[in-house]
Structure formats: C-alpha cells, structure tokens
A and B are shown apart, each in its own frame.
Chain A
Amino acid sequence: MMKINWNRIRLIIAREYVTRVRQRSFLLGTFLGPFGMILFMFAFVWITLETRTETKVLVLDESAKIQDRLYDKDYLYFIKMHGTLQEAEQRCKDESLDAILYIPKSDMLSPRGIKLIGVHTLGKQEKDRVSYALDKAFEQARLTELHIDKEVFESISKEVPIEVISKEDGEEHIGRTEVAYGVGYISAMLMYILLLTYGMRIMNSVNAEKSGRVVEVMLSVVEPFELLLGKIVAIGALSLTQFAAWVFMGSWAEIGISIWAQSRLKGLSMAAPQSGMMNSAMNTGAMRVTELSGALQDIHIGQIILVVGIYLVLGYLFYSALFAALGALNNDGEGGGIPSFVVTTPLLVSFYISFQSGASPNSGLSFWGSLIPFSSPIIMPTRLAFNPPWWQLAISLGLLVISIFGAIWLAAKIYKAGILMNGKRFTIKEIVRTFKQS
C-alpha cells in the first residue's frame, strides 16, 4: 500500500508554484497580457471604425414613388437623379459613386426589374443595407397607395407577447429563459477555455520535465502520485493566481471606465437637458438593467457562480490528470505516443453539446451529458440556471469526485510508466505492459 507523504506534496506544490510565479513569462503574461488584449481590442475597434467607408448609391427612380422614401443611414447615402441609365453610369464614373439603384416603373405590389448596379462587386453587407432600405421604402409607398394608416399597420403587425413562467416549488419565476441561457452559455465557454488552457499547461510542464533526467532523481525520492498531485495543485493555484490578478485588474479597469463613462454621460445630459429621446433611451436602458438584475437574482446567480466554481476546480483536477498522463506519454517534439485529441475531443464535444443543453436543458442528451464526468464540468453549469433537480446535481458531483480519484490514480501509473520512456517511440502494448507493472 502506497504511503502518501503530505509534507512532501506540500514541498512539491511550493516548488512548482514559486519557480513558475517568478518566471518572466508568467509575470509578463499576467500583467502585460490583459493590456495587450485590451490594446488588440481597441485596435480592432479602431480599425473597424476608421476603415468604414461611405457607400454612395445613385437612385434612378422612374416611378418617382420610392426615391423620397430612401433615407441615408450609417454611411449609406442615396443620391437622387433623373435621366437615363447611360447618364447615371457616366455620373457614377465622374463622381466616383459606388452603385446605381435602378427602379423602373412597375406595379408597386409586385415590382420587377429593379437593379443594383455596382461600379465594383458590392459586398454582402452593402447589398443587404440597400435591400433593407428599399424594403422599407416600398412598405411606405404601398401603405400610401393602399390608403392604410401607418399606425394601424404597425399595430396589426406587432409581435404577440408571450410571458414565460417557470412554476417551481409553488413559486412563479418570470422571464428568465434568455438570461438563464446566457449564463449557461458563458459558463460553458469559460469552463471549456479554462480546462483546455490549464490542461495544456500541465501537459507541457510534464513533457518538459520528461525531456531532462531530473524526474529520475525526483522519483527516487518521492512517489509518482505525490509528484503528479503536487504539480496539478501547483499549476491549478498558479492559474487561479493569474485569473485572480486579471479579475483584480479588470475590476479596477471597470471602475475606472465606469467613472469615466458616468462623467461623459453627465456632461452629455447637461449639454442636452431637453433631449427627450436621450432621456427615453436612458430610461429604457435603465429598465433593461433592472430587468436583467432581477432575472439574475431570480436564477440565484450567487449560487450558480459557487457551483460553477466547484465544477471548475473538480473539472480541472479531472482533466489535468488526463493531460498530465498525456504529457508523460509523449516525447517532446517527436511523433508517436498518444495524440492530444484523445483528451481534447471529449472537451470539444462537451462544448458543442452545451449549446443543445442550454436550448433544451431537460433533454436526454443534456441529462446524460451532465452526469458523465468527461462532460459534466461543461454541461451541468449550462443547466444550473434552469434549476436541475438536486439529485442530478448530487450524482453529477459524486461521479466527478470518484472519477477524479480514478483519473489521478490512472494518471500516476501512466506517468510513472511513461515519464521514463524518453527519447524513443513506444507502442500501446508496451505502455500497457509497463502500466501493469508500475
């Protein structure tokens, strides 16, 4: 019976953690990484805005019923003209316009022969925007022609509101489906990214250690299980440290941005106190925020964050053990061994199932996906906002905890068998044989 020395595990955790924390790459990644990310996002937005070009469309409306109903919007400009198509083409050339919208005389209800002639090949977005503006113009023209009041039309084409109520434990919970779906989706996305990133980090760490012979010295002093557990816990703690640093920096950045945004908004409202539209927009925004915050309270967001956190820790322990085993079986920079998709595929499949799970949280796929340890850390969090039965949650967590012990036990054996097989290719048969002996 293997005797586990917790003091040695503590020393291993400390070494693995401290040596990584003080690495320049970690410090740069932690403190400069987010700035780089923000910079990249700003650059992306800036390039998107700055490179946005105007689209100028020359309108040749022979019916004369549409051209006045085409409105300029967001860099899309309509220029009216009278004349022939040849004249329009010439003007397009002379004034460097982008396209000609040719509307022949025809029946307003079933128009024919409308053409959008681009000087160059028009992009889908440009085409869609012109098309949308044209639809709206025709809609108005038809209303006029048929003598239908615009307000009447709007009132009859209104969407039928439906209030979604969940009646659980005798209590009614209103309108939380979208919020629950959103929370589930964010949880799944976060879980997938973190498990994959941290898992790969463990795998690379084991692989790097394998390329030297220090592991032989270590395994002559400590048990493989101790070394593996120490490494997993240390890298988990390292990842949490980085995550906490990002959250901390993000919070301060958010506070800073909020203060800046509030001062900007205050300035705007002082400058335009009579702007009813703005007040209305602000009121609507405030209402949405209140609704959202109500819905978040309604789905017990605090509890969800707690359970997602538990799944993150357990999922990390489960998957990191598997990634560590994978790292031990592969030689750095060489082929052979076990390909990494063996472990990454269950993660990826679980992530795809999570879309289905968010849309249909009580389906068979969601149910089984949230119980099986390979997928439960990603799928159960997507169901949490929909209040799954407690017994399902208990079984899911129980199975995951049991599987963690199994995975670490298995990984420690594979680790011991694989970690010394450096510098050569080995077969599955060989791994199994060594595994049985270790």
Chain B
Amino acid sequence: MQDAFILSVHEAEKRYAEHTALDKVNLQVPKGSIYGLLGRNGAGKTTLIRCVMQLLMPDAGQLFFDGKPLAKEHQHLIGYLPEEKGLYTDMYVTEHLLYLARLRGMPKKQALQIIEEKLSAFGLTDWAQRKISKMSKGMQQKVQFIAATMHAPQFLILDEPFTGLDPVNAAMMEQEMKAFKEKGCSILFSTHRMEQVEDLCDGIALIDKGKNVLQGETQEVRSRFSKREWNLGFDTALDKEHSLFSRIYWADEKHQKGFITLATEESSKEILQSLISANASINYWEERLPSIGEIFVQLVGQAHDEN
C-alpha cells in the first residue's frame, strides 16, 4: 500500500546514561517534499537521523518508510550526507565515489559514467583524479553530495548540507536539491540557516532537547505564529490625522511604507476597505508573517528561558 509519507516517525525514544536524546519524537515527511529538521546543537537532530539511517536503534517508538516498518532493505533507497568528514580523504575523488557505488552494488561501467556526469555538473571534472585531502571544504561537501545521490535514492537525508559552502556553491546546492525534488525524491535536511528553510522547505519540524516543539507546512507554521501584522505601502501623501493612519508603524515614512497590527476582532478586508474609503492610494497590502528564524528563536528561546 502506498503511503503519503516517505518517512513516519512515531514516538521515537533514545536515552543515554546521562541524557535523553529523543523523547517521544514524531515526524512525518510527505513524499516529494523538502523537509527541514531544525534545532539547536544537541537538540537530537543527529540522533534522529542516525535512527532513520538505522545506525542506532531507538529504545522505543516506530519508524516507517513509505508506510512499511523501516528495515535494512530500505537503506539502499536512502542517500545520506553527514555534516562533514564523511569522506576517506586518503582516496582520490573518482576512486572514492566508485568505491561507494560498487559497495551499493552498482556495475563499474555504469558507476563511472554517473560519476563523470555528476563531477561535470558540479564543476569538479579537473579534480576527478586528485586526492580528496587536497580539496577545499566546499568541494568536499560537493563530493559528499554526489556520493549521497549517485545511486538515485528515493529519500535523501542531508545533515547541514550548506556547511562550508560559499554563496555561489550554496545556490548550486539549493538548485540540486530542487532538481532532486522535481524528480520525485523526498529530502529531509537539517540546518541552522533559517533563510534557506523558508526558501527551500515545504515543511519543517523543530525539535529541542529531544522533544517535538513544532511541525507542519512552512507557510502554515508561519501563519500559525501570525501576529496579525500587515505590511502596506502608499502612492500618495496621507492624511495623518486619520485614526487608522495613526495606528500605522512607519517603518519607512519617506517612502510611505509601514505595517499595521490588527486587533483580534478586526478583519484585514475591513481595514483595507476603510483605508481605501479614506482616499489612501495603496499599492500593496500583504500579511507580515514571522520568519522561521523568528519563530525558532521565539520557541527555543522560550524553552531555554523556562530552564
């Protein structure tokens, strides 16, 4: 039976002698989506990823891959990129990629062809026969990405994929991730860089101290944390004596831009109509949603303060 989720984690628990890494964590990654796993250092992201990779066994809870209990045979359907140092630096680039491909059972000829194509796509053709230890951190990250994806996995797990990448290479990595999504691959990635989350992720899960803090579709999560603030801009000069205009927080008075916070009983439609009837020439009107970064700080900061 086909499932809507490529990965489902139910009540996963993992305890160590000194701390609890996962405390009844739930996670559902829809098929064909890019899903962000957010959390501070030590929040339990890597432990959760290791459980999904079956490197660790959870003490309790269940994990499902495409609706079926996660098992060994699913490993070859998953691609994995650890945060860093996921390469044998004493090997040559092609040699390393070929080694991993052959361990996955790929025929040598086919593997070499794929490696050549991927290296070319990432601008690493000149590095094919050079030692990995000679490469920059960003280049090594690209090689790791190739290693994780060359067997065309259904599900890709990327642990901090943007580490060490300059803006150009980060953009390239984003494009690659989107391209994989286009091909139907589902992606779970952990990151600290919140600006990429909004741009890339269809959904997010935030964990802290091994517990679920937040989960859902990116836009839905942002809406959930809406402070009922609306951005607006005007074309013409305004009658600042108007009661509504006095409520506007002028972020940029010169250019006549600002935002207004709506009361609970007010609807955005009513306010907009009132502004128009006051002869305000409005050129834009949009809800000002908090960024994922702001939500992250708000929630994790709260949890931190509570302790």
State the A residues within 8 Å of B (CB).
Answer: 8, 11-12, 15, 19, 23, 211-214, 216-222, 420, 426-427, 429-430, 433, 437-438
Q: How far is the CB of B7 from chain A (nearest CB, A)?
A: 15
State the main secondary structure of chain B at its contact with A: loop
CB distance from B142 to the nearest CB of A (A): 15
Which of B76-84, B120-128, B190-198 interfaces with chain A?
Answer: B76-84
B68 on the A face (CB < 8 A): no
20 A-B contacts (beta carbon < 8 Å):
A8-B103, A12-B103, A19-B88, A212-B86, A213-B83, A213-B84, A213-B85, A214-B85, A214-B86, A216-B53, A216-B55, A216-B82, A217-B147, A220-B54, A220-B55, A220-B78, A222-B103, A426-B17, A433-B17, A437-B59
B50 touches A420 (CB 8 A): yes
Cβ-defined contact, A427 with B55, below 8 A: no
* Contact B103–A429 (Cβ < 8 Å): no
Interface residues of B (CB under 8 A from A): 16-17, 50, 53-57, 59, 75, 78, 80, 82-88, 90-91, 99-100, 102-104, 147-148
| Min CB gap A82→B, angstroms | 78
Residues of A within 8 Å of B102, CB to CB, are 11
CB atoms of A216 and B17 under 8 A apart: no
Across chains A and B, the number of contacting residue pairs, with CB separation under 8 Å, is 66
Given contacts A11-B99, A427-B17, contact A220 B75 (CB under 8 A): yes
Contact between B90 and A19, CB atoms less than 8 A apart? yes
Across the interface, do B100 and A221 meet the contact criterion of CB distance under 8 Å? yes
Contact among A12, A216, A430 for B50, CB-based, below 8 A: A216
Q: In the complex the two chains form, is B100's CB within 8 Å of A217's CB? A: yes
Within the assembled complex, what's the spacing in Å between the Cα atoms of A216 and B100? 12
A221 and B86 within 8 A (CB): no
Q: Which residues of A contact B17 (CB under 8 A)?
A: 426-427, 429-430, 433
Contact of A420 (CB < 8 Å), options: B55, B59, B84, B104: B55
Majority SS of interface residues in chain A?
helix
| Shortest CB distance A351–B (Å) | 34
B188 to chain A, nearest CB (A): 14
Cβ-defined contact, B55 with A219, below 8 A: yes
Name the A residues within 8 Å of B103 (CB-CB). Answer: 8, 11-12, 218, 221-222
Query: Contact between A221 and B75 (Cβ–Cβ < 8 Å)?
Result: yes
Q: How far apart sit A221 and B56, CA to CA, in the bound complex (Å)? A: 14
Q: Are A438 and B57 in contact (CB under 8 A)?
A: yes
Chain B residues closer than 8 Å to A429, beta-carbon distance: 17
User: In the complex, are the beta carbons of B86 and A213 less than 8 A apart?
Assistant: yes
Cα distance A426–B78 in the bound complex, in angstroms: 30
| Complex Cα gap A216–B158 (Å) | 13
Cα A212 to Cα B55 with chains together (Å)? 15
Q: Is the CB of A220 within 8 A of B53?
A: yes
A427 proximity list for chain B (CB < 8 A)? 17
- The distance from the CB of A101 to the nearest CB of chain B, in whole angstroms, is 66
Q: Which residue of B lies closest to A425 (CB)?
A: B18
Kindly list 4 other residue pairs between chains A and B, CB separation below 8 angstroms, not including A11-B99, A221-B75, A430-B17.
Answer: A15-B88, A212-B86, A214-B82, A222-B103
Q: Give the Cβ gap from B199 to chain A, nearest Cβ, in Å.
A: 26
| Cβ of B43 to closest chain A Cβ, rounded Å | 16
Distance of A44 from chain B, by nearest CB (Å): 36
Q: Check A23 against B56 for contact (C-beta < 8 Å).
A: no
Select from chain A the residue with minimum beta-carbon distance to B82: A213
* Nearest CB of B to A5, in Å: 8
Contact A437 B80 (CB under 8 A): no
Q: Are A430 and B83 in contact (CB under 8 A)?
A: no
Residues on the A chain within 8 Å of B75, using CB: 220-221
Can you name the residue of chain A whose Cβ is closest to the Cβ of B79? A220
